[in-house]
Amino acid sequence: MLLFLEQLLNGLQLGITLFLMSAGLTLVFGIMQVINLAHGSFYMIGAYVAATVTARSGSFLLGLLAALPAAALVGMLVEILVLRRLYKKDHLDQVLATFGLIMFFNELTRMVWGRQPLFMDVPAWLAGSVELIPGVPYPSYRLAVIAVGILVGVLLYLLFAHTRVGMQIRAGASNREMAGALGVNIRLLYTLVFGLGTLLAGLAGVMAGPILAVEAGMGESILILTFVVIVIGGIGSVRGALVGALLVGMADTLGRAFLPALFRLFLSAAVADGVAASLASMSVYILMALVLVWRPRGLIPAHG
């Protein structure tokens, strides 16, 4: 039971990281109707900038404060230079262009930072553990990641539901031509939305930096899970992204933790480990297929 509770928290932490990624990506697609395969590159940029500034200054907070505007500014620059030319193009053109951006950013990071991965230490003030339940100490840093994700979710809700900018974003998502006719600067709105999405991706990269190695191409693996989250939750829905992220995080973590022990009950250890590893890797895709059979538009689709 103690192991199960610990793995539940691990699944929650992974789900929160996926939510930070998927919230930005689903915003971009839901509002701008752009398929952005390069979203993981901004996750990588956030991690690299944070690792570099943290190593030079010795302060994780300075690394965080440098990474967020860096990811947002690079994202807005990409929107101005590249994506504005793709809004009226087919989705295939958007896929090809943003796939080219993936290769560009991967090579750029190798040129700037080299091919060796960077490593970030957990900040000293978060290096301990907290005993949430007697006998279950849990790393303080992972709890901080969960808290940051919850805070971001609340702030996004307040932004979209209770601010004028949020109203304009929702109007632009529903009918961009009418919103433009009513005086909303659609170009500026799209740039800001894309910047917000890449800022969230950069934040996810910073949060993952002390847990994973910071290396070129690190955004591709999490991008696949991010797309699964968006499909499960409902394309364009931030609430759906939160629900989908938590489901995917739990399915992936619990599958990898407990399927080997389950299969060892009736199979030899070697066979059980192989079968369990395969099924654990497939678990999120099986979950996605089951959800789509039940609700083809996702659990909480946008616009009702």
Containing structural domain, residue 217: 11-129+138-294
Span 52-78, average pLDDT: 93
Total of domains in the chain: 1
Span 47-64, average pLDDT: 92
Asked whether residue 276 is assigned to any structural domain, the reply reads yes
For 117, phi and psi rounded to 5 degrees?
-65, 155
* Stronger pLDDT, 34 or 293, i.e. the higher one: 293
Domain containing residue 93: CATH number: 1.10.3470
Asked whether residue 4 is assigned to any structural domain, the reply reads no
Res. 102 pLDDT band, cuts 50 70 90:
very high
Res. 303 pLDDT band, cuts 50 70 90:
low
What Cα–Cα distance (Å) separates residue 242 from each residue in 92, 117, 205, 290? 27, 30, 17, 18
pLDDT, tens digit, 9 for 90 and up, residues 20-38: 888 888 888 877 778 888 8
How many Å from the N-terminal Cα to the C-terminal Cα in the chain? 39
Asked whether residue 304 is assigned to any structural domain, the reply reads no
Q: pTM for the full model?
A: 0.89
Asked whether residue 5 is assigned to any structural domain, the reply reads no
Distance of CA 266 to the CA centre of its chain: 37
Asked whether residue 263 is assigned to any structural domain, the reply reads yes
Res. 77 pLDDT band, cuts 50 70 90:
very high
**Residues 6 or more apart whose Cβ sits within 8 Å of residue 81:** none
Q: Tell me what percent of the residues of the chain surpass a pLDDT of 90.
A: 28
Asked whether residue 159 is assigned to any structural domain, the reply reads yes
Span 185-214, average pLDDT: 89
Asked whether residue 3 is assigned to any structural domain, the reply reads no
pLDDT score of 274 = 81
pLDDT, tens digit, 9 for 90 and up, residues 129-167: 888 777 778 888 889 999 998 999 899 888 888 888 888
pLDDT, tens digit, 9 for 90 and up, residues 240-291: 889 999 999 998 888 888 887 888 878 777 777 788 788 888 888 999 999 9
Asked whether residue 2 is assigned to any structural domain, the reply reads no
- Say yes or no to pLDDT of 304 above 50: no
